[in-house]
Amino acid sequence: MNDFDRDDKLETLGGIVERDYRRVQKADDPFLVLDVAPDASFDDIENQFERYERFYTADKFESLENEKLAAKRDELLEAFEDAFDKIRKKFSANQSRLEESGGEDVEDELA
């Protein structure tokens, strides 16, 4: 990769990382961290999480040789994983209560 390509890629990725980083730092809700609606389906939430995982791959960032950007990437991935785990647990708990109730409506506590 020549210097021009590297600088262009660094600028583009840097802007995306900064945008996500600012959002995640302000967010106290796992849905905000993943940038999904609280009433999104679990499949949609999982797809969004997987998109972040694909975007924030180590290979993409290692070639840029920028430690600050790589550190933010690591923090973001950790935040995305934590948020997804919290949401998955809530969905799992709601599914368990639904099964225990025999299919009757269970109040949605995800929001």
Who contacts 35 (Cβ-Cβ below 8 Å, separation ≥6)?
23, 48
Write out pLDDT tens, residues 55-85.
999 888 887 888 999 999 999 999 999 999 9
Per-chain mean pLDDT for the chain: 87
Write down the pTM of the prediction. 0.81
Q: For 33-60, what is the mean pLDDT?
A: 95
Q: For 41-49, what is the mean pLDDT?
A: 96
**Residue reference for tokens 């999104």:** 40
Other C-beta atoms lying within 10 Å of the C-beta of residue 67: 9
Q: How confident is the model at residue 94 (pLDDT cuts 50, 70, 90)?
A: confident
Joined together, the tokens standing for residue 35 give 């940038």
Q: For 20-33, what is the mean pLDDT?
A: 96
Q: For 96-102, what is the mean pLDDT?
A: 69
